[in-house]
Each structure stands twice: as C-alpha cells, then as structure tokens.
C-alpha cells in the first residue's frame, strides 16, 4: 500500500514493512515524516500485523534531518511526535539499516525496539559538524545504550561507527547479510515477537552511577579540538543531563541546548559550509553528460615533497603511479620519503602491513621520461620556474598519449603560458595541491583559457576520487587560496611596526580560530623560501634582515621566535629589538591595538581580495572561496569562511574600514554593501577566461 509519495507499507505473514524511498539520502523531510507518521499509524491499526520493519530504499537508511528545510517554516508531522508514535507502538519495531544511519536517522532507529544492520553500514550522530546537537532524543537515548563515555565520543567528535563496532557497543542487535537485509530483519523480528520489551528511555543500566569526573576529563582531553566551536560543550551538558535527570527532564534540557545552538552564528556558518562544500562540484557550464576521461594510471614528474605527496594520494586509492625524476639519488630520496610516511602510518596502527605492501607495489620509480607515454594523467610537480615547466610540457607533448590529461601543480605561475608550450593547450589544466599534499583536503583545479571542459571535469572528478575537495579557479597570480592570504601576510608585516609584536598578532589569529598565526607559519615554512635572495637582499624590511642574520625560522633555531631543540617557540628578544629599531627608523608611531583592530587589519584585506576574485570571475561563486580557505588554510569553519564571516561583520563596515586603512574597497564589496546583499551568496555572472595581464 502506497502511504504517500515516499513511503510504502506492505504486510506479509504478520510482519509489516514500511519502506521509505526519498532520494538522495532519505533525509527526514516533511514528506518522510508524514510517511512515517501515516505508515506507523496504518501498521499499528492493522490487526494482522504483529511486528514492524522500518527500512529504506536507495543508497542509505535515513541520513538525518533534512538540513535544507532548517531555515524554512516547519510543515508536516513534527519529528518528536513521529518518534513518540514509533516508540509507543504496541507492536515491536526493528530498524533495518544499510548505508548510513545518521543524526535524526539514528535517532529514529533509537526509538525502535531493535536495530539490525548490514556489515557495511555506519551509524552516527554527526550533528556537531553542523554546529548542532542531536535534538530528537539522541543525547538522552544514546548514553542509555552505549554509556556516557562512548556517547560523548560519538556525538562530540561526530565520527560514525561501523556496524561491527556498533554491535560490540550494543547499539545494534544483529548484523545481517549484506544483500538480504529485509529478509534477515524479518527473520530477526519473528524471533522477538513474544520477547519482553524495554524502551531505551526506560533503561538506566549503562548510566547509573556514572562518575561525574568523566565530563571535565572529556572537556580537558579535547579542549584544543573544541576551541571556538559551541556545539561540543552543549553536547557534553546534554549528556550530563542524561545521566543526572529523569528522561523527560533530560529531553527538555536537550531541547534548550539544541535551540541555543540552532540560533547561533556558528551553526549557521557550519550549515552553510555543508552545502558550500557540496556545491564546489557543480560547475554551471560543464554538462553533466560530458564523456568521461578514464584515469587508470597516473604519472608524477618530480619526486620532491610535493611530487611524493601527490603520488601518495593516488596510491591510497589503488591507482598505479609512475614517478619520474632526472637523477637516481633524487628518485631514491623521494621513494624513501613515501615509504617512510607509509611506515609511520603502519607504526601508528592506521595502516596494515599488507596495505603498506600494496601501496608500495603500485609505485613505479623511473628515470625515463618516455614511460609517461603510458599514463592517462600526468602531474608535473617540479621547481616553480616557468621556463623549466614550459620545457617539460614541450617534452610531454611529444611523449604523452593523445588523450592524456597534462596537469601542472604550479601554485602561482601562468597555466596558459605553460599550456602554450604544447601543441594541445586544451589538454592542459592546473591541479594545485596544498602541502602536505597527501593530507590537505583542498585541490584547486585551474582552468586555462583553452582547457577543454572534459579535461576540467576529469580533473574535478579525480580530485573527488582521491578524497579532495576540488575547487575550480581561473588563471591568476596565486589562484584562490594563496592569493587571498597574501594580503593577510602583508598586513601582518606592516602591523608589527605599529605596535603589536608578532606573538601578539599570532595570538589574535589563534583566538580567531586559525591553527597557526602568520609569523609562526613563516618560521615553520622558512623565511628564506618565500622569495628571499641573498644576492639582492637590501635590508629594507624586518623579514629581509632576519634572513640576512641567518634567522630563517624553525630550521635555524630562530626567526620571529626563538626555538629550543624540541622546536618549542618563545618570543625572540632579537626579533623584537629589530622590529623596534625598524619602527623607529621608519618613523611609524607605535600604539596599542585591540584584538578587534588586529583582526580587522589582517582579515578585512582578505575579504576585499575575495571580492576581487569574484569580480574577476576567478572563482565562480563566493562559497567556493570560503571552501578553499577553510580547506587550504585552516580558516575556522565555525566562521563559515572569510566571505560568510564578512556578511556577519557587515560589508559597509568592512568597506569603510578598508578605506581608512588606505585600501581601495573592491567595487563589488561597495555595491553589495549599498544594496544590502550578502557576499557569501554571490555568483560570478560570466566566468572570465583569464586574469593575468
């Protein structure tokens, strides 16, 4: 019997099966909630029914509340009422889980009598990633099933558990076979029709006598990871309520804590970011039915830090990689680094010895450029020198297969000038990885003036295949993420002459939520590698003089900070004196700055650069820019990224402040401020072909 557009009820042999079918992920939309409501009512009313199976069609069990409905007026049956109906069912209910039972999906399963799951299923309460807490009883029911500690881990960290582990924790009652979920669930339920029933809400065995010290210990353990986020603390408070209050009072507390989060800027930012991340894959002028360019073998040119890291991405997903170098020792060093990195994962228990062998077996080191004729995708990762890259691409043009994708990992050079060295610029694309390339999630796919749409689509797809978030950029100096962050660095360098010292500036950036401040970052990367040249050094800036003094950063034991032999940083009196001398020499008046002023000085220029990037059509939409900064530079996700954050600050305020600081606000920023329109929703009207003069 069809219940509504997304729910169907079938009764056979005394068992009712309610099947939800709402693509893509059976989220709890108004239709799904109505389907559950009416379906359960019908099953309960049917006298021939002795037990009920709840199951989903498609790729997954319910993956949560429908996030796209969050900011709309509520319609349909309220979730809490639906869950109360299921929990109060006079007939036993089993949730048959495949794919992912997440958020409201797992909360639905927790009001059923039993949960059975396929071996590949995952269960979790990941609301924390949206700046929320499980608000449909999850914070009260999960601790009653798995205990407070495991519940805290699942909800405050948000990582789903596999079926096998869920079984061990008591979260699922049985594992079914992978492809007979329904039949196995029915068989399971039939064995339970006469069993005594205890609702989870009435259980106390796992929470009775909980030592309250657990909560502070948990807070302390994760203090660093939780910094700046609001949701973890509310989750902890909700679990505290679960172990100290009767169920109904705990539910009231959960609701208060949920709504507090729901209204917060942090949650709005994280919900925006959830969709922003998924948007990046959608490129308006790339037809969905473009013929795919299959990538079965990859070539990497250059076995340095970048080349090695890039190669690992492909080995990790089972793609064979040929890595090419010019000299044997460089090749050996590169392969040894890859081996060492994998060995590190084995030592930490993150990889099995077998996986280690499999990955290394997929790697073919070679000194012979000609072998690149056998691969489908070639990524060049050599020294950042245009003439060198052009030479390599001219050689590649002769060697590579006709339909091979020729990618450059340049971080700022002109991809079109590189493409012009070949007779096939349509096959050339930028694939800009961020260091460490095997870790950082951002991949900038740089579309040249002549890159074929099919090649762009293939580069985006391969990015996703290796677990990256691929963001599309046009050609310009620095592309999106590096170009955006350059003004922060310039502003930081200028600011230290006006009063705040490097460690004060870094502290303000850490408080804002960055993993590292600009000066600590410079010291880590090395002051010398960002363009200092002893031959042309003119002692005209603090950074130049630090370089001249041999204070190149961590590796030399000193830069802006001094480092001990364990690389622990302390403010450097030498750097401080140098800064003060420079300030005196240049006649800049020093004064105290508030944290807010420091944030404005460093980050408003970044917002301005973002607006320019959009104006020029370098990025196709503002949310792509935010995603690039969060995944490329650790911009705190609870701000939503620079452009979402800017809307919260106020565009007019930013534009005025920029003018006061002597920066020209981008016309787009001014125009949106005047029109009262948000920047984070901006989409470029026409993608520009290229932006380098």
Burial of 38 (0-12, 13-18, 19+ CB in 10 A): middle
The residue (of 27 and 657) whose beta carbon lies closer to ligand 3H9 is: 27
User: What SS3 class is residue 281?
Assistant: coil
User: Parallel, antiparallel, or unpaired: how do β-strands 428-433 and 442-447 relate?
Assistant: antiparallel
Footprint of ligand 3H9 on 265-324 (CB under 6 A): 278
Q: Which is nearer to ligand 3H9, 23 or 193 (CB)?
A: 23
Parallel, antiparallel or unpaired: strands 2-4 and 561-563: unpaired
Q: Given phi > 0 = left and psi -120 to 50 = alpha, else beta, which region is 260?
A: alpha
Q: Which is nearer to ligand 3H9, 56 or 418 (CB)?
A: 56
Distance, CA of 620 to CA of 487 (rounded, Å): 21
Return the residues of window 101-140 that contact ligand 3H9 according to CB under 6 A: 102-104, 107, 126-127, 130, 132, 134-136, 138
Pick the closest to residue 366 from 403, 405, 321 (CA basis): 321
CB 7 to ligand 3H9: min, Å: 17
Among 6, 20, 77, 79, binds ligand 3H9 (CB under 6 A): 79
Q: Which is nearer to ligand 3H9, 274 or 582 (CB)?
A: 274
Nearest-approach distance from CB 255 to ligand 3H9, in angstroms: 9
CA distance 555 to 557: 6
- The answer to whether 155 touches 212, Cβ cutoff 8 Å, is no
Residue with tokens 């962050």: 485
Backbone dihedral angles phi then psi of residue 562, each to the nearest 5 degrees = -100, 145
The residue (of 135 and 478) whose beta carbon lies closer to ligand 3H9 is: 135
Which residue lies nearer to ligand 3H9 by CB, 60 or 234?
Answer: 60
Site map (CB under 6 A) of ligand 3H9, residues 190-219, x = contact: ------------------------------
Smallest gap, in angstroms, from Cβ of residue 138 to ligand 3H9? 6
Give the integer Cα–Cα distance in Å for 512 and 145: 37
Q: Is 251 in the site for ligand 3H9 (CB under 6 A)?
A: no
Q: Which residues contact 362 (CB under 8 A, 6 or more apart)?
A: 315, 318, 319, 320, 321
| CB nearer to ligand 3H9: pick between 51 and 103 | 103
Min separation Cβ 186 and ligand 3H9, Å: 25
DSSP 124-184: E-GGGGGT---TTTHHHHHHHHH-HHHHHIIIII---EEHHHHHHHTS-SEE--TT-HHHH
Neighbours of 543 (CB within 10 A): 20
Closer residue to ligand 3H9 (CB): 116 or 276: 276
Scan residues 650-689 and list those touching ligand 3H9 (CB under 6 A): none
CB of 630 to ligand 3H9, least distance (A): 16
3-state per-residue secondary structure call for 452-515: CHHHHHHHHHHHHHCCCEEEEEECCCCCCHHHHHHHHHHHHHHHCCCCCCHHHHHHHHHHHCCC
Per-residue x/- mask for ligand 3H9, residues 161 to 190, rule CB under 6 A?
A: ------------------------------
Instruction: Write phi, then psi, for 161 (nearest 5 degrees).
Output: -110, 150
Q: Which of residues 29 and 50 has its CB atom nearest to ligand 3H9 in the complex?
A: 29
Q: Is 67 in the site for ligand 3H9 (CB under 6 A)?
A: yes
- Name, in order, each residue with C-beta under 8 angstroms of 505's C-beta and a sequence gap of 6 or more: 492, 495, 496, 517, 518, 519, 598, 602
Burial of 4 (0-12, 13-18, 19+ CB in 10 A): middle
**Shortest distance in whole angstroms from residue 94 CB to ligand 3H9:** 21
100 binds ligand 3H9 (CB under 6 A): yes
Residue 68 binds to ligand 3H9 (criterion: CB under 6 A): yes
* CA neighbor of 498 nearest in space, from 599, 601, 596: 601
Compute the least distance from the CB of residue 34 to ligand 3H9, in Å: 16
CA-to-CA distance for 20 and 3, rounded, in angstroms?
10
8, 87, 107, 659: the catalytic one is 107
Do the beta carbons of residue 377 and residue 465 sit within 8 Å? no
Window contacting ligand 3H9 (CB under 6 A); options: 98-106, 200-208, 348-356, 400-408: 98-106
CA dist 107 and 61 (Å) reads 12
**Distance separating alpha carbons of residues 39 and 56, to the nearest angstrom:** 13
Judge whether 660 counts as a catalytic residue. Answer: no
Residue 122, beta-bridge partner list: 100, 162
> Contact with ligand 3H9 (CB under 6 A): which of 64, 334, 558, 665?
64
Q: In whole angstroms, how close is the CB of 79 to ligand 3H9 at the nearest point?
A: 6
Q: What is the CA radius of gyration of the chain?
A: 28
Shortest approach of ligand 3H9 to residue 68 CB, angstroms?
5
For residue 693, indicate whether it is catalytic: no
CB of 236 to ligand 3H9, least distance (A): 16
List, in order, residues 6 or more apart from 450 with CB less than 8 Å away.
416, 419, 425, 426, 428
**Interface with ligand 3H9, residue 63, by CB under 6 A:** yes
Question: Would you say the C-alpha torsion 650, 651, 654, 656 has a positive or negative sign?
Answer: negative
Q: Looking at beta carbons only, is 396 or 470 nearer to ligand 3H9?
A: 470
Using rule CB under 6 A, residue 471 touches ligand 3H9: no
Q: Does position 252 bind ligand 3H9 by CB under 6 A? A: no
**Catalytic option among 47, 69, 87, 127:** 127
Please say which residue, 65 or 415, places its beta carbon nearer to ligand 3H9: 65
# chain residues binding ligand 3H9, by CB under 6 A: 25
Least distance in Å: CB of 537 to ligand 3H9?
Answer: 49
Q: Which is nearer to ligand 3H9, 132 or 242 (CB)?
A: 132
- String of contacts with ligand 3H9 for each residue 490-529, x by CB under 6 A: ----------------------------------------
Q: How far is the CB of 610 from ligand 3H9 (least distance, A)?
A: 23
Instruction: Kindly state whether residue 25 participates in binding ligand 3H9, applying the rule CB under 6 A.
Output: yes
Query: SS3 for 2?
Result: strand
| DSSP-assigned states of every residue in 427-438 | GEEEEEE-SSTT
> In whole angstroms, what separates CA 671 from the centre of its chain?
31
Q: Which residues are catalytic?
A: 107, 127
Positions that interact with ligand 3H9 (CB under 6 A): 24-25, 27, 60, 63-68, 79, 100, 102-104, 107, 126-127, 130, 132, 134-136, 138, 278
């Amino acid at each position: 019997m069809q219940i509504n557009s997304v729910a169907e009820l079938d009764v056979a042999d005394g068992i009712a099966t309610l099947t939800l079918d709402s693509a893509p992920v059976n989220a709890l939309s108004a239709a799904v909630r109505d389907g559950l409501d009416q379906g359960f009512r019908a099953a309960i009313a049917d006298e021939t029914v002795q037990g009920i199976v709840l199951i989903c069609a498609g790729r997954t069990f319910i993956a949560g509340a429908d996030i796209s409905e969050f900011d709309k007026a509520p319609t349909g049956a309220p979730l809490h009422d639906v869950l109360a109906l299921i929990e109060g069912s006079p007939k036993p209910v089993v949730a048959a889980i495949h794919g992912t039972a997440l958020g409201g999906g797992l909360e639905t399963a927790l009001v059923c009598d039993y949960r059975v799951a396929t071996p590949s299923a995952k269960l979790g309460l990941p609301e924390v990633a949206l700046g929320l807490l499980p608000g449909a009883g999850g914070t009260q029911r999960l601790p009653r099933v798995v205990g407070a500690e495991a519940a805290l881990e699942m909800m405050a960290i948000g990582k789903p558990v596999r079926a096998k582990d869920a079984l061990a924790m008591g979260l699922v009652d049985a594992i079914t076979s992978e492809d007979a979920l329904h039949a196995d669930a029915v068989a399971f339920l039939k064995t339970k029709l006469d069993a005594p029933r205890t609702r989870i809400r009435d259980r106390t065995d796992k929470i009775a006598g909980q030592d309250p010290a657990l909560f502070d210990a948990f807070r302390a353990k994760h203090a660093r990871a939780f910094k700046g986020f609001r949701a973890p603390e509310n989750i902890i408070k909700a679990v505290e309520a679960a172990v100290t209050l009767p169920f109904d009072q705990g539910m009231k507390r959960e609701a208060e804590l949920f709504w507090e989060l729901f209204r917060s800027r942090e949650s709005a930012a994280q919900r925006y970011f959830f969709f922003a991340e998924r948007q990046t894959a959608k490129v308006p002028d790339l037809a969905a039915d473009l013929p795919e360019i299959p990538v079965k073998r990859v070539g990497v040119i250059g076995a340095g830090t970048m080349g090695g890291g890039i190669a690992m991405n492909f080995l990790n997903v089972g793609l064979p990689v040929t890595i090419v170098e010019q000299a044997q020792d460089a090749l050996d060093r590169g392969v040894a680094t890859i081996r060492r990195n994998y060995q590190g994962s084995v030592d930490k228990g993150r990889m099995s010895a077998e996986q280690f062998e499999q990955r290394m077996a997929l790697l073919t080191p070679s000194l012979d450029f000609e072998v690149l004729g056998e691969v489908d995708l070639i990524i060049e990762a050599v020294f950042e020198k245009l003439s060198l890259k052009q030479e390599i691409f001219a050689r590649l043009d002769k060697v590579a297969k006709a339909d091979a994708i020729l990618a450059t990992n340049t971080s700022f050079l002109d991809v079109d000038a590189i493409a012009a060295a070949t007779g096939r610029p349509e096959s050339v694309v930028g694939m800009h990885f961020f260091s460490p390339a095997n870790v950082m999630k951002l991949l900038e796919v740089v579309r040249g003036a002549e890159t074929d749409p099919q090649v762009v689509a293939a580069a985006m797809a391969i990015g996703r295949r290796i677990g990256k978030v691929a963001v599309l950029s046009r050609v310009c100096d620095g592309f999106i993420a590096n170009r955006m962050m350059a003004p922060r660095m310039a502003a930081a360098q200028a600011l230290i002459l006006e009063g705040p010292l490097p460690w004060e500036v870094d502290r303000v950036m850490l408080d804002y939520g960055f993993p590292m401040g600009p000066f600590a970052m410079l010291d880590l990367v090395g002051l010398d590698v960002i363009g200092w040249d002893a031959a042309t050094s003119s002692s005209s800036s603090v950074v130049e003089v630090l370089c001249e003094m041999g204070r190149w950063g961590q590796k030399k034991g000193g830069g802006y900070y001094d480092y001990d032999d364990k690389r622990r940083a302390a403010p450097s009196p030498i750097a401080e004196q140098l800064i003060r001398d420079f300030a005196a020499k240049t006649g800049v008046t020093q004064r105290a700055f508030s944290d807010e002023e420091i944030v404005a000085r460093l980050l408003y220029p970044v917002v301005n650069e973002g607006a320019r990037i959009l104006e020029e059509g370098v990025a196709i939409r503002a949310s792509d820019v935010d995603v690039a900064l969060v995944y490329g530079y650790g911009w705190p996700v609870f701000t939503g990224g620079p452009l979402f954050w800017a809307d919260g600050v106020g565009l007019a305020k930013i534009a005025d402040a920029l003018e006061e600081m002597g920066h020209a606000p981008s016309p787009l920023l001014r125009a949106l401020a005047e029109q009262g329109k948000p920047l984070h929703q901006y989409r470029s009207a026409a993608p520009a072909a290229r932006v380098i003069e």
